Structure 1
Amino acid sequence: MTGLEGALYPWRFRLVLALLGLMVAAIVWRIVDLHVFDHDFLQGQGDARSVRTMPIPAHRGLVTDRNGEPLAVSTPVTTLWANGKELQAARDQWPALAAALGQEPKAFSERLAQSADREFMYLVRGLTPEQGQSVLDLKVPGVYSIEEFRRFYPAGEVTAHVVGFTDVDDRGREGVELSFDQWLAGVPGKRQVLKDRRGHLIRDLQVTRNAKAGKALSLSIDLRLQYLAHRELRNALVEFGAKAGSLVMVDVKTGEILAMVNQPTYNPNNRRNLQPAAMRNRAMIDVFEPGSTMKPLSMSAALQSGRWKPSDTVDVWPGSLQIGRYTIKDVSKTEGRTLDLTGILINSSNVGMSKVAFDIGGEAIHDMMQKVGFGQDTGLGFPGERVGNLPSHRDWKQAETATLSYGYGLSVTAIQLVHAYATLANNGRIVPLSLARVDRTPDSAQVIPEDVAKTMQGMLQQVIEAPRGVYRAQVPGYHVAGKSGTARKASVGTKGYTENAYRSLFAGFGPMSNPRIAMAIVIDEPSKSGYFGGLVSAPVFSRVMSGALRLMNIAPDNLPPPTEVQAADAKTVQGGRG
């Protein structure tokens, strides 16, 4: 029947044969074309299955202190990964692999079983090259390695809040590592390699792009001063049972931050049991009412107004002042009924400061505080930095004027506080702060008249050296200046202040012959042996300033005359003979 149909319709048979012939011809032509004329296509397809582009890791830039001491370095590490499909064929080697990786065999086996369909999974990251090679020597099918870099911090907890740390992918997550991430991060390179269908490396072909290491960064921090400040702040917290604390030291002339420490702190090299509260760089993030440390700035506004001079007196009797339903009180009993302006600072008289503030007005004090940087960003670009709050009123009432003059009703950070005192120490010229080392003299602006700043320097020197001054802040061999403060802590979530919760403050600078270092100390909630700033924070200032001036080879300016030294030595010798 079929033959009969073919005979009846010969054109159909010829059509089918023609179509088959055309298809065979097309296939033959395509084979010839791919092998002779368009051979790049087949080669490209082959390369896609055998030639791979692999990244060449680039290490982050070195972070050092101002003297070249390393603070953050990158070290090569080995990361092990696996092809889950290939590992299924080597189940008998899983226990040995788990032991080599230091993992629990049962949990490790369950993890591999769940990843049976995955072609990529991390086994462990950040091994030393020796540890990684010991695992690879087991020759478990499906286990491979990647070369990476891991950050190491030689100074550990001492510089943790400044330097910060990177994550497992070597990206900055805190501190300088985050704020300078683009500067420090390297650019990975690329290389072409030949691999078989199982992913084994056959041959290294070529480097298509060289890896570019990150740029080095030299910080303004002096590691010697950082260690000194860290030790003394920690000791003070232990001695007074305090909750937390911060200390910041600034170069008066350049604005460089020489030391910045916080307690509690953490070890960036081992963050397994890290408490989130320990990560806070309190010097830049915690805001607080600065209390009596603001009085020198309020007094500067009074001197600048021309209405007051240091010898002018104020009646402070009986040590309290009623303003509507508010009562302003002096904490300590003053000498006599009246105090001059220096006496107001020495005795830390709230009543005296308030009466001066009433005369010049709250606007003048606000403007002075604004000029030295309160309520504004410092320009450091540090992650999470707070700007605080400097209130402004169209109509300054007496209560608002008084509280601002002695450091309440506003909030600042420790870094802002030290910046203001550095401006006073620099004869009224404000210099931008810097966390990077400064190699040239920065631009500055005159925000406090020079004569006012120099007068205030002398008054603050008397705050420490006068008979009723803060003698615990004195530095042997040097004249220094400063002001203590004790501020009540505001309640969280409610109005008012927390009962028996204080911050102990001290801010100062020295040496007075040519001020070089400004410092601010904040100790949070001391719970034993007192809480006044002159008792808790002033001794820290004394010890750290003493060590810093000597480490920086700054000549003493308060040594006794040679004749007195000789007389004292002679007396000692005679006493010894007797």
Structure 2
Amino acid sequence: MKYFKGMEHPYRFIIILVLLFALVAAIASRIVHLHIFRHEFLAMQGDARAVRHIPIPAHRGVITDRNGEPLAVSTPVLTLWANPKELLADKARWPELASALELPPADLAKRIESNAAREFMYLARGLTPERGQAVLERKIAGVYSKEEFRRFYPAGEVAAHLVGFTDIDEHGREGVELAFDEWLTGVPGKRQVIKDRRGDLIRDVQVKENAKPGKQLALSIDLRLQYLAHRELRNALLEFEAKAGSLVMVDVRTGEVLAMVNHPTYNPNNRRQLNPQAMRNRAMVDVFEPGSTVKPFSIAAALGTGRWTPESTVDTGNGSFKIGRYTIRDVSRGGLLDLTEILKKSSNVAISKIALDIGAQPVYAMMQNVGFGADTGLSFPGERVGQLPMHRKWGQAETATLAYGYGLSVTAVQLAHAFAVLANDGRNIPLSLLRQDRVPADGVQVMDAQISKSVMGMLQAVVEEPGGGGSRARVPGYHVGGKSGTAKKLASGGGYTESSYRSLFAGVAPIENPRVAVVVVIDEPSKGGYYGGLVAAPVFGRVTAGALRMLNVPPDNLPTETQTAVVGSTQGGRG
């Protein structure tokens, strides 16, 4: 014990040595334990403080027309965000940041200070990559970016009501964008990165999950027909100083909606000063009394009972017919009219007498079979089904008014569908807003084919024979048929207005092998007239003429060789 000689308390030193060795042993044991038994836990905790997973944005599916023309696409943009706590440490650069973002300095300062307790705030969203990068190159502490996508609509206002739009987060808010939101939405991916404690990127490690873009959607509309209908409807509204209008075109064979336009419209690419009234897809959400455009279906109902034939006649007398305290009047006196002449002269008196003869039930059943008062199956947001009244006991007034288009309400789409049924030999094929690769096999025969052909012949006479109300709907080179209508608008306090009308025309073309059914609705024309045959029929004629050429439908009403020779001889004599 010489080593401890002279020490008063040698055992203290020994205790200290023991404690030191015990401490070293404990530390070594802990290190061994952590590295061997807790390795995975430590690695996970280390990664949690350094490894991050950042989302890889997935672009929304493209919407196209039936020919692949884009109607809605997603373009990459840059979103700038900031950490207000970091920005507060460098107030001297706030004016520079405001200038780069093209914001008033006072507004930016107010936003930063109001979010001082947070670690995230948006600075600007949806910037072009060039503009966003220009801000980032200023190296302002606390300013960061992330990739996003912004929706762009190449057709603009022409297809706005049908396609709809998304919000800033690319969630569908109107139209097809909303109806097929789940189909169009992509699934974001994941990228693994390493960041320091300040959130700065140190290294991009790997892509953990690839982004899955949304699925493409091909609509049934033809953008060429959409532009044509948009232009002609707009010109008609300007000519007659009308409040609004709609046009719907349906493929008779497949039930596809080939065109659907409304005015007024809006630009989905710039909604800063958007008028909510302009956003309504009137063709689907506005209901109205169809007036005389439903008379062909009342005629079909009469033929279906077997009590009436195309040659049957009705005496309209002096053009007025009294039912109880109501008096039904015709615009022109017709005398004795057969069924074709009833449609040509649009006689309310004659159609009322027919309806009273067969009863309300056949008329009601026919209108129900062609789709009035029922859902079209298009699943369009906000679409209305209208109203087809059903009375336990039908009075004479209700029976008569139903037959000539009052007391029920329809949409323009429903009316176009009904005429498509009539043109398709009485076969009801469901409507579709999506492109169909083949003719649907789920159609239902709701009208005798021979009856539909007879009524189609009558509609041809309405347009092509003298005295018909649809002469302005003629299409050069084609036989077409249709029916005009003029309906007084309902007043807000009940009853009907004295001077507000809807001008209507519904028709099909060509007659022998129908391809399209077209409905034109013009709301409150205030200049130059208001009758459907004057206001809406010319729009039908111009749009249908262009559509048949674009669809390569062969003409069925070309001049004969004899007519051509006579015309040529006459022109030669004049020359």
Range into which the TM-score falls when normalised by the shorter chain: over 0.9
Question: In the TM superposition, what are the counterparts of 1:561-572 in structure 2 within 5 Å?
Answer: 561-572=560-571
How many Å separate the matches in 1 of 2:30 and 2:467? 103
How many Å separate the matches in 2 of 1:441 and 1:69? 22
Query: Per-residue displacement from partner, 1:174-219 (whole Å, max 9, x unpaired)?
Result: 1111111111111111111110011001111122211001111111
How many Å separate the matches in 2 of 1:117 and 1:362? 71
Q: Where does residue 4 of structure 1 map in the other structure? A: none
How many Å separate the matches in 2 of 1:80 and 1:459? 65
Question: In the TM superposition, what are the counterparts of 1:92-491 in structure 2 within 5 Å?
Answer: 92-330=92-330, 332-335=331-334, 337-443=335-441, 444-469=443-468, 470-491=470-491
Cα gap change, 1:447 to 1:30, in 2 (>3 Å): same
User: What SS class does the counterpart of residue 145 from structure 1 fall into?
Assistant: strand
How many Å separate the matches in 2 of 1:378 and 1:45? 57
Displacement of 1:563 = 2.2
How many Å separate the matches in 1 of 2:297 and 2:316? 20
Displacement of 1:30 = 4.7
How many Å separate the matches in 2 of 1:498 and 1:202? 72
Displacement of 1:121 = 0.8
Displacement of 1:105 = 1.0
- 2:338 maps to a residue whose letter is D
Q: Where does residue 15 of structure 1 map in the other structure? A: none
Do 2:318 and 2:333's aligned partners in 1 also have CA atoms closer than 8 Å? no
Cα gap change, 1:110 to 1:307, in 2 (>3 Å): same
User: What SS class does the counterpart of residue 246 from structure 1 fall into?
Assistant: strand
- 1:502 maps to a residue whose letter is Y
Do 2:310 and 2:340's aligned partners in 1 also have CA atoms closer than 8 Å? yes
Point out the more displaced range, 431-440 or 554-563.
554-563
Displacement of 1:254 = 0.5
- 2:305 maps to a residue whose letter is S
How many Å separate the matches in 2 of 1:411 and 1:23? 91
Displacement of 1:45 = 2.0
How many Å separate the matches in 1 of 2:24 and 2:376? 79
How many Å separate the matches in 2 of 1:164 and 1:455? 40
Displacement of 1:465 = 1.1
User: What SS class does the counterpart of residue 221 from structure 1 fall into?
Assistant: coil
User: What SS class does the counterpart of residue 49 from structure 2 fall into?
Assistant: helix
- 1:568 maps to a residue whose letter is V
1:557 aligns with 2:551: no
Cα gap change, 1:391 to 1:37, in 2 (>3 Å): same
Displacement of 1:64 = 0.8
How many Å separate the matches in 2 of 1:141 and 1:34? 38
How many Å separate the matches in 2 of 1:384 and 1:362? 31
How many Å separate the matches in 2 of 1:359 and 1:451? 22
Q: Where does residue 514 of structure 2 map in the other structure? A: 515
User: What SS class does the counterpart of residue 80 from structure 1 fall into?
Assistant: strand
Cα gap change, 1:310 to 1:263, in 2 (>3 Å): same
User: What SS class does the counterpart of residue 71 from structure 1 fall into?
Assistant: strand
User: What SS class does the counterpart of residue 382 from structure 1 fall into?
Assistant: coil
- Give the ranges of 4+ consecutive aligned residues of structure 1 lying more than 3 Å apart after TM superposition: 18-32
Cα gap change, 1:194 to 1:333, in 2 (>3 Å): same
How many Å separate the matches in 2 of 1:496 and 1:253? 39
Displacement of 1:31 = 5.2
How many Å separate the matches in 2 of 1:124 and 1:383? 31
Query: Per-residue displacement from partner, 1:494-530 (whole Å, max 9, x unpaired)?
Result: 2211231110000000111211010001111111111
How many Å separate the matches in 1 of 2:329 and 2:232? 33
Query: Per-residue displacement from partner, 1:69-96 (whole Å, max 9, x unpaired)?
Result: 1111111000011111111122111111
Q: Where does residue 497 of structure 2 map in the other structure? A: 498
How many Å separate the matches in 1 of 2:199 and 2:535? 65
How many Å separate the matches in 2 of 1:259 and 1:360? 37
Displacement of 1:21 = 12
Query: Per-residue displacement from partner, 1:250-292 (whole Å, max 9, x unpaired)?
Result: 0000001000000000000000011001110000000000000
Displacement of 1:43 = 2.3
- 2:237 maps to a residue whose letter is L
How many Å separate the matches in 2 of 1:41 and 1:119? 29
Displacement of 1:225 = 0.3
Q: Where does residue 8 of structure 2 map in the other structure? A: none
How many Å separate the matches in 2 of 1:560 and 1:339? 31
Cα gap change, 1:22 to 1:366, in 2 (>3 Å): farther
Query: Per-residue displacement from partner, 1:537-565 (whole Å, max 9, x unpaired)?
Result: 00000100011111111111111112211
How many Å separate the matches in 2 of 1:320 and 1:499? 20
Q: How many residues align?
A: 556
Q: Which runs of 5+ in 2 are unaligned?
A: 1-17
How many Å separate the matches in 2 of 1:165 and 1:455? 44
Q: Which runs of 5+ in 1 are unaligned?
A: 1-17
How many Å separate the matches in 1 of 2:572 and 2:108? 77
Do 2:313 and 2:336's aligned partners in 1 also have CA atoms closer than 8 Å? yes
1:526 aligns with 2:525: yes
How many Å separate the matches in 2 of 1:19 and 1:323? 117
How many Å separate the matches in 2 of 1:197 and 1:316? 91
How many Å separate the matches in 2 of 1:182 and 1:88? 41
Displacement of 1:42 = 2.5
User: What SS class does the counterpart of residue 365 from structure 2 fall into?
Assistant: helix
Displacement of 1:119 = 0.8
Q: Where does residue 57 of structure 1 map in the other structure? A: 57
Displacement of 1:26 = 7.4
Give the TM-score taking structure 2 as reference length: 0.94
- 2:109 maps to a residue whose letter is S
Displacement of 1:62 = 1.1
